[in-house]
Amino acid sequence: MNHWYMLTLVGKDRPGIVAKVTAALYDGGCNLGEASMMRLGGNFTIMLMVDFERSSKALTDLIGPVAESLDLHLHLDRIEGRLHQHVEPDVRITVYGADRAGIVARVTGALAEAGLNITDLESMVGGSEDKPIYVMQIEGIAAEGIESLQAAVDVIRQDGVEAHLEPIDTLIG
Amino acid sequence: MAILEILTYPDARLKQESQPVENFDDELRAFLADLEQTMLAGPGGVGIAAPQVGRFQRIVIVDCSRTRKPVPNHGRLFIINPEITAWEGMASGREGCMSVPDYTGNVIRAEKISLHYYDPQGTPQQLDAEGYEARAIQHEIDHLDGLLFLDRLVSRRNDLFRRKVYQ
C-alpha cells in the first residue's frame, strides 16, 4: 500500500537545491516517484511524488526545515496516485508569436474544443524586452482525431500566431 | 513455433554485444519463425532483435507494413549480420521498446540509411530505407551492440542533438 504525496517547492533558484531536498527525503525514509523540475522566470520549481508511510504532518516536519533553509515555499498534498499511469501522446503542437495577453487561453480553448487532451505543456517567453515572443509546445491525445485538431490549428493561425501540428508516431521496437 | 520470453531492462544481458551468425541452417530459420511470432505477440512492435529474447547473435526482424498509418516499407525483413553503410539526414522521433516497458522518449536517428545484410539463406542483400522503417532498423541494430534507446535519449522538451556519434 503506497502513501503518495505531491510535494511542491518554489523559490529563488540556486545550485544544489535538488540534492539537498532529495537527501533529506531519503534520510527520512521516503521513496521518490516521478518529478518535474523547471526554472520559471528565474524561480526554482519542482513537483515531486513522494511515497511516505507516515502522516502529512510528519512529512512537513521532515522537509520543512530544509525548505526553510533554502528559502523555498512548500506545499504538500496527499494524492490518489501511483506509478505506471503513463498515457502516450499522439500529437505535438507548437505555437509561437509576438507575446500578447490571451494567447494561451485562446489556443488551448480552440484545441480543447477540437478534442485535445493535453498531457504536457511548456511555454517560454523569449525575444527581447521590447519585442517579446511567446513559444509554447503542447503534447496531447487527439481524442477526436488529428484532422479536427488541424482545423483548430488553422483557425489559431488566422489569429496572427504561427502554429503547427505534427503527429507523434511512437515506434515500439 | 513458440513465443519466446522478452528480456526486460535492467537485465544486464541486454547490454552485451551480439556475435555474427555463421551457420545459415534450419535451426536458424526455426528461430526466426519463433522470433517473428514473439514480435507479433507484442504490443504493436515493428521490430525485434535476437538479444531481446536472450540469443546473442546479430539477427533482427523489422516489419513496418503493419503501422497504424502507412509508411514506406519493404515488408517483413529478416536481417542477419547487418551493416549500415550510409546515413543521410537526422530526425527526432518518439520510441519505446518491448524490453523497456512503460517508457518512451525522443531519439535522433538518421532519416535514410543504406543497409548491407544477409537473408536467412545466407545470401547477401542490400536495401535503402527511409523514415520510420530506417528508424526501426537502427533501433533494432542498436540492440545487437548492447544499446537501448535509453542510451540515445534527447530532451523530452527540446529535440536537442547530443554530442554523440553513430557507431
Cell numbers at A100, concatenated: 500578447
Test B42 with A172 for CB contact under 8 angstroms.
yes
Contacts of B68 in chain A (CB under 8 A): 169
Contacts of A173 in chain B (CB under 8 A): 45-49, 95-98, 136, 139-140, 143, 149
Test B136 with A122 for CB contact under 8 angstroms.
no
Exposure b/e, B144-167, CB count within 10 A at least 16 = b: bebbbbeebbbeeeeeeeeeeeee
Of A86, A168, A171, the CB nearest to B135: A171
pLDDT tens column, A122-168: 999 999 999 999 999 999 999 999 999 999 999 888 878 899 999 99
pLDDT tens column, B148-167: 999 999 876 655 554 445 55
Query: Once rounded to an integer, what is the mean pLDDT over residues B13-29?
Result: 98
Test B94 with A84 for CB contact under 8 angstroms.
no
Query: Once rounded to an integer, what is the mean pLDDT over residues B82-96?
Result: 96
φ, ψ of residue B48 in degrees (nearest 5): -155, 150
Position A159 scores a pLDDT of: 79
Query: Once rounded to an integer, what is the mean pLDDT over residues B135-154?
Result: 96
Exposure b/e, A124-139, CB count within 10 A at least 16 = b: eeeeeeeeeebbbbbb
Position B162 scores a pLDDT of: 47
Instruction: Kindly state the DSSP code that residue B57 receives in the 8-state scheme.
Output: B
**A83, A119, A172: best to mutate for the B interface, most B CBs within 10 A:** A172
Which residues in chain A show pLDDT less than 50?
Answer: none
**A85, A135, A139, A171: best to mutate for the B interface, most B CBs within 10 A:** A171
A88: nearest CA partner in chain B:
B104
pLDDT tens column, B9-18: 999 999 999 9
**How remote is the C-alpha of A22 from its chain's centroid?**
19
Mean pLDDT of chain B, nearest integer: 93
A58 CA: distance to closest CA in chain B (Å): 32
Cis peptide preceding B10, ω within 30 of 0 = yes
Position B45 scores a pLDDT of: 87
Cell numbers at A99, concatenated: 507575446
| B140 in active site | yes
Position B92 scores a pLDDT of: 92
B14 touches A: beta carbon within 8 Å: no
A120: nearest CA partner in chain B:
B157
Q: Which of A61, A36, A34, A46 is nearest to A10 (CA)?
A: A46
Q: Which of A126, A124, A23, A111 is nearest to A69 (CA)?
A: A23
pLDDT at B135 over 50: yes
Test B102 with A86 for CB contact under 8 angstroms.
yes
A167 touches B: beta carbon within 8 Å: yes
* Segment 101-130 of chain A within 8 Å of chain B by CB: 120, 122
Test A172 with B96 for CB contact under 8 angstroms.
yes
A147 touches B: beta carbon within 8 Å: no
Mean pLDDT of chain A, nearest integer: 93
Contacts of A119 in chain B (CB under 8 A): none
What span, in angstroms and rounded, lies between the C-alpha atoms of A31 and A50? Answer: 6
Position A89 scores a pLDDT of: 94
| A48 HSE (CA, 13 A, CB side) | 23
Q: What is the largest CA-CA distance in chain B?
A: 47
B61: nearest CA partner in chain A:
A173
Position B66 scores a pLDDT of: 83
pLDDT tens column, B43-78: 878 999 999 999 999 999 999 998 888 999 999 999
A173 CA: distance to closest CA in chain B (Å): 5
